[in-house]
Amino acid sequence: MQTLAERVAKRREQLGLSQKTLAEKIQVSQQSINKIESGQTRSPRNLDKLAEALDVSPQWLLFGDESAPIRPMDIYDSEIKASSLRVEEWESMNRDKDEFVEVSMLNVEAACGDGAMADNEHEIYALPFRRYTLRRMGVNARNARVVRVIGNSMAPMLRSGDVVGIDTANNSTIIDGDLYAIRDGNLIRVKQLIPRPDGGMIIKSFNNTDYPDEQLSREEFEQRIHIIGRVFWSSTLW
């Protein structure tokens, strides 16, 4: 599975850009780009600008997908062929249980904002995932859950109405800059977590103009925050 670092480097090379040129496009130092491509920076703070400069979506940079991003100018009418694929509703398909697994979609709304109440969590329906895709992401289907997000504090990466997949087994070790579903008192939130050198934690929103960073000491974080799991997948309505 490609990492964010590999996706950025590969896409930059596809566009014929040097690290210096890419850095100038998003107004950061070349060292910042080098840190992203070397894996030192796992979730860039200028993610939306980086995605725009590379002509891809922020979601693709963070999570990737089965196919490489394609720019509109790379597609020519002469190359367009009619698809032989047939669309079927999941409920009416003869499902291959060896290939697909169902992941529970909960009735909980996780806030990309100030918080959403969690009450009487239960499954409302299930979403199909390929077993291969989950294995590639290192996720056991038994530990995966899907919830809908509300609010736009994580825009442009996540917008209100999008859904995210959460690995509930991945809640003990925090990877700097990754997204996590957290329980904050009675509130469920999806936020970027950035560990501080002193043991504290920064709870960060991508839309930090309207939602400033929250700085918590180690004691405050341990007493107030419970990590539900790491976000491994997202699906947007936009």
The tens-digit pLDDT sequence of the chain (238 residues) is: 568 888 899 998 888 889 999 989 888 888 889 888 888 887 677 888 888 899 888 878 877 754 445 444 343 333 434 444 454 444 445 555 678 888 888 766 676 655 444 444 555 667 888 888 888 888 998 899 888 888 888 888 888 888 899 999 988 889 888 999 999 888 888 999 999 999 999 999 988 888 899 999 999 999 999 999 999 988 875 4
CB neighbours of 77 closer than 8 A, spacing ≥ 6? Answer: none
CATH number assigned to the domain with residue range 95-235, chosen from the 4 options 2.160.10.10, 2.10.109.10, 3.40.1360.10, 3.40.50.1000: 2.10.109.10
Tokens of 19: 């690290």
Structural contact between residues 158 and 43, judged by C-beta atoms closer than 8 angstroms: no
What is the C-alpha to C-alpha distance for residues 30 and 20, in angstroms, rounded to an integer? 5
Q: Where does residue 228 rank: exposed (0-12), middle (13-18), buried (19+ CB within 10 A)? A: buried
* Domain with residues 4-68, CATH architecture: Orthogonal Bundle (1.10)
**In the chain, what are the domain boundaries?**
4-68, 95-235
The pTM score is 0.59
Helix, strand or coil, per DSSP, at residue 228: strand
